Amino acid sequence: MLPSSLPALLCGVAIKNLETDKFNASQPNLRMLARVLRISFGYLACFETLPENILAQRVTKARLFHGLTKEEFAQVIGDDKL
């Protein structure tokens, strides 16, 4: 059973469009859905399949897996100029 705390931001039509692949969810909406569904953000966004061949790919994958935008990641690592 899902909590009734799903914000009105994602109405039934929006959820139907996500489920039928009519549009992609934004990162904030994916974060909210992952929290409500109690699953990992990385799993929900299918980031497991991203390549990890070079350092840049690994850093990008780790950032995305944690649901961070570039700006949020820069704040986390203490550099606001990324």
d(CA 75, CA 82): 9
Tell me the H-state helices in the chain: 12-19, 27-37, 41-44, 55-65, 70-77
pLDDT reported for residue 9? 57
d(CA 15, CA 8): 11
**Residue the block writes with tokens 């699953």:** 39
DSSP 8-state code for residue 66 = T
pLDDT reported for residue 23? 82
Listed in sequence order, the residues at least 6 apart from 7 whose beta carbon sits closer than 8 Å to its beta carbon are 32
Inform me whether the pLDDT recorded for 1 exceeds 50. no
pLDDT reported for residue 24? 81
pTM of the model: 0.60
Per-residue pLDDT tens for 25-63? 888 888 888 888 898 888 888 888 889 999 999 999 999
